[in-house]
Structure 1
């Protein structure tokens, strides 16, 4: 990604040219020359990226540009550091200005020398630039994208029979209300869920005889093969009088598409193509196609749609002719699949091959249907795990392994240990590599650096959504857009990678948002290879330290397990900009981070991520990292933060979650660029205890930190009156977490909240369990508020909450309301997750018809007076999970539970024996009320352990304190985490 360092250094060059301190004579002109040349190079770098592997000369040239950009960046940053070292206040008087000028003479001399040398390199690079036109590159990319599709034989496609049958049924059966469907497949994934969605919409009714079916997946890895299998099926050919298959590409023009379609249609009907087709404009050709299709049942396949305007160009030519016509399109992008289905398509979950199915396919292809030799089973299962359940990967890897000598286990172990190298060097895997690389090459350029960055995370490591976003921003990968924060732009990048199947969701929050993700193992190897090839990042693993080949220079370093191998390097030049550590076995306190600081070049660090490191004290050397933007000590044992942290004037993220820090120094307020200040920890084992969460104290004028977007969790019991006013100055806040609030501070807090117009998440906890939270005087609540957490007494329900239509999650604890809170919440249109803990002291909760239209998860805990629940028909019609726990007087299943037709799981936790007896499959009086629910768990304490009573669909019983359902039930309290 040579364009990324070039873009980054161009920003720094602009700063240098605008620097108030005069550079030496002639330096400004040299800097301008460098800037002009790098801007010229930048244009070709974007289009040259995908051709590096095919053109060694171009690849070498791109590397020179990248290295020179890095050198320029280093020179500017080192100059900046020298200025900081000599800075004396803010140039208060003329004498200080003169003193500062002479002190920085050496710094200006050094950068002048550096820039002169860099200018010579840039000029040489300009003279040697390869003569490659953008036009030829564009043509080559189109040819590659068309020529590298990997089509497997049907016999190799495990599980294709069922999706093929369902897709054929969609084509040739008259399903009048099941017309618009999206089918999603990924990387040769044939175990695909195909479903149908009924839409009661005028637009569907108007076009009910022309179904649009979108098959979405990564390029050349399954969607085309499935479509082709269906298209060539004899029943399909017989059913559709006219049919055409159009191969598209990223660069195909709509005019060419229409002409290709016309030629195929005339070929099918056995007539010559009119000569005027070549002369006519697009509108005339569309009209010709429409007239041809108007009286016939047709099937049109558009393979590999890259842009929505391709569909826009052709859809008006495909008539709704009341003859059960069908259109199939394949695309690599989910957003296009949905658009082409007129935004009425349905997403379908991807199903990877189950372990046993994958193993059967692996043995079939590797050992020609014979069982795996016992001495190879362990290593084969490890290799299979890297395939991640993708049949295409299994077939390809199996073909390569089939040639290995079965008696030589070492050959198989080498493949397992060096999986990425095997993909690179094995001719039998070349087609698979090309397909995956093609998907990478077709990425928008600004996303490539973001994707390569994922290589720094360990294999199978779940990557936290917000952690990744903050890291991308700190690395400079995110470009600002009008009207959006950098975090919002980065989030759109992440969504795009998900849409293109580069990432898989590992865990979602209760409101449906992604919490963690990771790359598929095989795709990860391709990305790792590209990262190493471009020296984008260096991964230091303890298990590979004997065989690891270190690059000449290291800028981004990921250390996994141990630092020993890093400290032993004496031939590698460390110019670290990013340092991340994972699962360290070393104790950082034994040799101190000073050893790393002195042996590796870390003074230019932008990112320092020590999450989970065995660290007990704040490393003093960190405060000297003036350029640092991101600092994470999450999950360490650090207790104190020094006042000298004020030196980190570029810091944007300070993550101290789950450390032992309880107080921040007053100097923290001097970090004017800080955007995310996260300091808290949980006591998970006592979630229902009022003091389960710990925040931090600060006496600093926090209102000075006006760049803050996230502030969690600040304890406001000391100097709370002034602090509440200070909070009102933080108008950029998106997330605010407050602990230890007093009743008398409510009015001041409400006034401050009204000024936080961008707030999306608000958490307030009172100073003690029976302290009243007085937040009733908010007249203009934040219109973007999505998450609300209130812990403490409420004299009455805050009326403003019912007007917050964007709320998706509401957690209320210890409110002890006498009035039914449901009356104020059930009209919220987007509420997806509602949790109550000691919220209501009444006897009955009443869910009115049409209430809670979007609710998916409902949790009720420790409602001591609750005796009954009434659910009217139409209430919570989309509810999927219901949790009721520790409600000692609730002895009957909620009335109207049968109306919740989409309910998947009910969990009763520590409930009365009468309720448990009534739920027995055999003879339980109220079993009929829950028998429509696929899974019902009743969990209670017995004989010193938790006992799980599971009512499955067929009334099967399981009693096991270690059962997975018990684990899931016992983890329920973590839902209360913010």
Structure 2
């Protein structure tokens, strides 16, 4: 929380002293203010690291006053800088002849007048700033005196047990997986079995095949959702069609019912996946998926249509639907009325924290499962596993562990959260930390804990975070409940807000990733996958995270208490309007109650100090978008999927000169003004899935601080090499117009870590492009820290293939490359691929490889986990994994429409867990599956009338009878690749 004070202390030293040193009597005051703020920054850190039981309301109020002062000082300097450095408007460029001459003449005359006035205007601004500095300094004196007057004493704030920071290197991949893997959840096996038996027993009555509802009830943190997921996993065979949807507190009205039914429909169209999750694609949500020969335009369906479609699909099939986190009886009644009977023995599992909802949903108490807390033995097992792994708790620490577990009262989430505090204190040397935590949990959980007690317990996990993680954790309160946050989006937002502190030898992005991993390791957030729709790649899965509902509630409470974030939406009721100046504004959803509609709440606010604006919906908020130009101090503008954003708003957006993070992903804009090049502080620009296309202006290349650029397509301009800070370039176009100008400049981008390039050719330009591509291989040899490379050829219908043989000239190859995707003709893989020791994923398509050119080159790579073979990637009659193709860690192999026979010899691909392949109308045989020692799952996709498909299914099911293999069949009316 002290980041603002730290930032302004630095900024005063850099800017104000130079500007004001000539104004009599002010220079010393600036230095004095800088020193006062630096001292207050230290005081804020002391409060942050203090034992939170000793931080009373008086200290909290003083803390908020210091924060406000720091923010106001930063706003003061930023406002001054804006008025001094604001660029003059360029002359018009859309006139010809004499009009252009007169236009230039008028521009130059106006510029001359402004230059003549500049010394006077600057002096006025300096004096205004000097007055503001004096006022700020007076406030520092008043705040300092107030601390003394009310007896806020540092000695009365004992420091909490210090934490050893968990570095990125100390968090192993297995630990991260364990942190969010439901299979590691201890102590619910008996409950899973009991509920599964009840559901199966309901099938014994042959005369009663009606839909039955089973309820799981208990307060937050007991593991209701985990229990439901485990039951679904046990009942895979009985219920091949499954769906899981979350409701949340904010559920209300026909709009929310429609969204829930859409998610149910999307999932029951597919058979249950073995990991318990269903893939939900944006393409399906927009009505572009095709199933059983009919295109489902779900975006055009109303609630009645969706309900009828679900009933139709389940006419002859039973399904299992989990409706998670129902908060009210009215919400359940709205949902239940739309899930029609099918008399096939379908089941619903409902989870809720409210007893009345559970009793109303289920016909008898027999169908209601009351969540139990963990027995002491299970609690100990879970705690010891989280803290010590497979070892036992040292005898010196056992007494403290017993005290902690008694107060956790068998709450799984509480146990996991508290256990995460001791990751660096596994020996008797950390006994002071163990004693302090065991003493400070409090007595509120000793009897029957309620929701408030749970909040207090989870707040303890936050209170014991290192100071640098507290603001990052509070920042997550910006996002709605059950929202999966893309990892790079979160990290770049942290950086833009100044929440990430520099470390010697590391970039800010690397430090931010350390923060992310540390929060994962402390079980404050959970790893998850975020699905994006990419116009060029289709559905793309990226790493993300989510926050447990109960932890999010704690963060929302704390962020509003400290005025860290202002939340607007029905989910937050009367607490949405923050007291004091609003610095971060997050708009979640509208309230159908006109009195509390988001528009009315926002119109009553003063927003001139907002530095972060996030909109998760925009209905009725056109006036706010029309006023974007007034948000002069804005650093973060996140309008993901804001459908109300229009081209007319972009002119105002390009005047927000302090912007560091700008996301317009999924909006309807089609024009980006050239003035975007004036956003000189911009670090992240995301315009994926917009209508801008290749029309992103060349002025973007002027953004010297830009680190992340994500767009659907961008015709790479001359001057690209000036973007020295760029780390992520997704996606750039090379064609006959720019191939010679740009390919050499890519080698000048020393910070580049991820690049996706599409090569576009036609009959006229193909030969010229082919001759120019060796320059690209030279540039790639200079990208020494590149992690991800995607090269794709996008031909015209009449064009012969661009040859990727130029890649043989890459010398040396990027040594840190982790992901390599080559979509274009290359009949022989470059020898340097076998040197990529960090490579984890390899994809190839249209390459026409043959013989041993594929597995023979890749089989020795020590970290290769995924191989994806696209269409026509292999042209031989059979693809053979020989005995010596062991692949040390390969887990996933995907094959789309290439060989007619795949053979796995004994000893090949020993670690392979998932095999997925697509078959077309040609015959296809897969031989030797029994030789894949670790195979757990086979996915097969093809036309529903395909004989080869039917033959493969029979073959796989025969094998699964003797080997525990999950067979997933996806029958479609057309055959897409993976």
- Give 1:127's match in structure 2, choosing from 145, 151, 167: 145
- Give 2:455's match in structure 1, choosing from 417, 430, 433: 433
* Counterpart position of 2:790: 763
Asked whether the 8 Å contact 1:809–1:832 carries over to 2, the reply is yes
Shift of 1:839: 0.7
Mean Cα deviation higher: 222-231 or 4-13 = 222-231
Q: Where does 1:826-905 land on structure 2 (aligned, <5 Å)?
A: 826-837=859-870, 838-848=872-882, 849=884, 851-863=886-898, 865-873=899-907, 875-886=908-919, 888-895=921-928, 897-905=929-937
Shift of 1:597: 4.0
Separation in 2, partners of 1:845, 1:632: 44
- Give 1:606's match in structure 2, choosing from 602, 625, 635: 635
Separation in 2, partners of 1:231, 1:466: 31
* Counterpart position of 1:927: 958
Q: Secondary structure at the match of 1:575?
A: coil
Q: Where does 1:22-171 land on structure 2 (aligned, <5 Å)?
A: 24-49=23-48, 54-85=55-86, 100-129=118-147, 136-138=156-158, 159=187
- Give 1:733's match in structure 2, choosing from 747, 752, 762: 752
* Counterpart position of 1:634: 665
Q: Secondary structure at the match of 1:71?
A: helix
* Counterpart position of 2:839: 807
* Counterpart position of 2:335: none
- Relative to structure 1, the CA distance from residue 640 to residue 933 in structure 2 (aligned partners, 3 Å threshold; closer, same or farther) is farther
Shift of 1:796: 2.0
Separation in 1, partners of 2:956, 2:65: 78
Asked whether the 8 Å contact 1:829–1:854 carries over to 2, the reply is yes
Separation in 2, partners of 1:754, 1:110: 53
Is the counterpart of residue 623 in structure 1 residue 654 in structure 2?
yes
Is the counterpart of residue 593 in structure 1 residue 592 in structure 2?
no
Is the counterpart of residue 541 in structure 1 residue 569 in structure 2?
yes
- Relative to structure 1, the CA distance from residue 6 to residue 513 in structure 2 (aligned partners, 3 Å threshold; closer, same or farther) is farther
Mean Cα deviation higher: 778-787 or 697-706 = 697-706
Separation in 2, partners of 1:479, 1:314: 27
Shift of 1:759: 0.6
Is the counterpart of residue 646 in structure 1 residue 647 in structure 2?
no
Asked whether the 8 Å contact 1:856–1:878 carries over to 2, the reply is yes
Is the counterpart of residue 724 in structure 1 residue 743 in structure 2?
yes
Q: Where does 1:741-760 land on structure 2 (aligned, <5 Å)?
A: 742-760=769-787
Q: Secondary structure at the match of 2:582?
A: strand
- Relative to structure 1, the CA distance from residue 312 to residue 101 in structure 2 (aligned partners, 3 Å threshold; closer, same or farther) is farther
Unaligned runs of 5+ in 1: 143-156, 166-185, 195-220, 233-239, 253-301, 316-328, 333-391, 401-427, 681-694, 947-969
Separation in 1, partners of 2:424, 2:747: 45
* Counterpart position of 2:521: 499
Shift of 1:754: 1.0
Separation in 2, partners of 1:738, 1:86: 33
- Give 2:551's match in structure 1, choosing from 515, 523, 526: 523
Shift of 1:731: 1.2
Asked whether the 8 Å contact 1:639–1:660 carries over to 2, the reply is yes
- Relative to structure 1, the CA distance from residue 231 to residue 724 in structure 2 (aligned partners, 3 Å threshold; closer, same or farther) is closer
Shift of 1:66: 0.9
Shift of 1:35: 1.7
Asked whether the 8 Å contact 1:303–1:331 carries over to 2, the reply is no
Separation in 2, partners of 1:40, 1:434: 31
Deviations 1:141-197 (A, max 9, x none): 79xxxxxxxxxxxxxx994686999xxxxxxxxxxxxxxxxxxxx966597999xxx
Separation in 1, partners of 2:857, 2:383: 54
Asked whether the 8 Å contact 2:801–2:824 carries over to 1, the reply is yes
Q: Where does 1:350-365 land on structure 2 (aligned, <5 Å)?
A: none
Shift of 1:431: 2.9
Asked whether the 8 Å contact 1:303–1:330 carries over to 2, the reply is no
* Counterpart position of 1:823: 856
- Relative to structure 1, the CA distance from residue 163 to residue 248 in structure 2 (aligned partners, 3 Å threshold; closer, same or farther) is farther
The aligned length equals 698
Is the counterpart of residue 460 in structure 1 residue 514 in structure 2?
no
Shift of 1:432: 2.1
Asked whether the 8 Å contact 1:893–1:929 carries over to 2, the reply is no
Larger RCO (alpha carbons 8 Å, 6+ apart) = 2
Provide the TM-score with structure 2 as the length reference: 0.65
Provide the TM-score with structure 1 as the length reference: 0.65
Separation in 2, partners of 1:913, 1:55: 71
Is the counterpart of residue 776 in structure 1 residue 808 in structure 2?
yes
Unaligned runs of 5+ in 2: 91-110, 163-184, 194-219, 231-372, 385-391, 405-417, 533-539, 591-596, 761-768
- Give 1:311's match in structure 2, choosing from 414, 427, 438: 427
- Give 1:577's match in structure 2, choosing from 601, 611, 623: 611
Shift of 1:523: 0.9
Deviations 1:348-404 (A, max 9, x none): xxxxxxxxxxxxxxxxxxxxxxxxxxxxxxxxxxxxxxxxxxxx9xx999968xxxx
Separation in 2, partners of 1:522, 1:21: 49
* Counterpart position of 2:588: 560
- Relative to structure 1, the CA distance from residue 712 to residue 554 in structure 2 (aligned partners, 3 Å threshold; closer, same or farther) is same
Shift of 1:463: 0.7
- Give 1:697's match in structure 2, choosing from 715, 735, 739: 715
Deviations 1:405-456 (A, max 9, x none): xxxxxxxxxxxxxxxxxxxxxxx54432321111100001111111111111
* Counterpart position of 2:728: 710
* Counterpart position of 1:478: 500
Shift of 1:229: 8.6
Shift of 1:666: 2.2
Deviations 1:829-881 (A, max 9, x none): 11111111111100222223352211111110110x432423331x2222221
Mean Cα deviation higher: 886-895 or 472-481 = 886-895
